[in-house]
């Protein structure tokens, strides 16, 4: 078990066990709850400390600012996200990806949390950079599914495989942030089918390929 100071040199650089890890988990959970309930305006470090039942000094010393806390929260979310599913077909893989995104965004807490973080990213460069890292981590996790489709001959050589993955989730985020239409499995499947169809006809082939 880890003992001694709870201080960490940088958010997220902790060993995966012991008191420090438990404190981080509690604080990040409390931060996520605060964001989901009231957006960035509710992300007060003292309030997060109260919710997490840890000392204010610990939270201020370790994270310092709401932007640092959001960055660590996003890093943790990326670490905890489910791994990709490989079905053996492009459409099967993209449908699995789309349904994972759909379940996440349709969840009352997670959907509200993503709305809050995206809103925060529009006015804070550090949060925007952390959000970009989160999505790139998730795209990189699923990109091999599209690369394997190229290798199987399902997609043209030169396809930008990261763009294929991004195209799957884009319609679902559009629903979350703009139209308010239901985020159901049918919408997820349509997003996957549209991305697969576009990829097959070369819509994502790099101009330099």
For 45-86, how does the pLDDT look when each residue is reduced to its tens digit (9 = 90+)? Answer: 999 999 999 999 999 999 999 999 999 999 999 888 888 999
Q: Backbone phi, then psi, for 205, in 5-degree steps?
A: -70, 130
pLDDT at 17: 57
* pTM value surpassing 0.75: yes
pLDDT at 209: 60
| Residue 4, Cβ density class (10 Å: 0-12 exposed, 13-18 middle, ≥19 buried) | exposed
Helices marked H in the chain: 18-38, 45-52, 56-62, 66-80, 90-106, 108-121, 125-152, 161-174, 185-200
Q: How many residues does the chain have?
A: 209
pLDDT at 26: 96
Please say whether the beta carbons of 2 and 17 come within 8 A. Answer: yes
pLDDT at 207: 81
pLDDT at 42: 80
CB atoms inside a 10 Å sphere around CB 196:
24
pLDDT at 81: 86
Measured CA to CA in angstroms, residue 194 lies from 129, 169, 181, 199 at distances of 29, 11, 18, 9
Say how far apart CA 184 and CA 170 lie, in whole Å.
15
Q: Which residues of the chain have pLDDT under 50?
A: 1-16
pLDDT at 20: 87
Please say whether the beta carbons of 23 and 65 come within 8 A. Answer: no
């Amino acid at each position: 078990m880890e003992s001694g100071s709870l201080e960490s040199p940088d958010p997220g650089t902790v060993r995966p066990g012991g008191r420090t890890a438990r404190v981080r988990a509690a604080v990040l959970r409390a931060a996520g709850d605060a964001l989901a309930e009231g957006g960035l305006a509710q992300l007060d470090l003292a309030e997060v400390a109260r919710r997490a039942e840890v000392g204010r000094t610990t939270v201020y010393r370790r994270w310092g600012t709401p932007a640092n806390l959001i960055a660590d929260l996003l890093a943790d979310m990326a670490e905890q996200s489910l791994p990709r599913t490989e079905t053996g077909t492009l459409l099967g893989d993209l449908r699995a990806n789309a349904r994972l995104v759909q379940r996440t965004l349709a969840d009352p807490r997670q959907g509200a949390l993503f709305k809050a973080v995206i809103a925060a990213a529009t006015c804070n460069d550090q949060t925007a950079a952390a959000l970009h890292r989160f999505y790139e981590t998730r795209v990189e996790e699923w990109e091999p599914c599209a690369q394997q489709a190229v290798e199987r001959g399902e997609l043209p050589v030169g396809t930008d495989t990261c763009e294929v993955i991004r195209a799957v989730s884009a319609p679902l985020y559009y629903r979350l942030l703009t139209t308010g239409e239901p985020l159901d499995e049918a919408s997820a499947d349509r997003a996957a089918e549209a991305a697969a169809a576009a990829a097959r006809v070369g819509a994502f082939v790099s101009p330099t390929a």
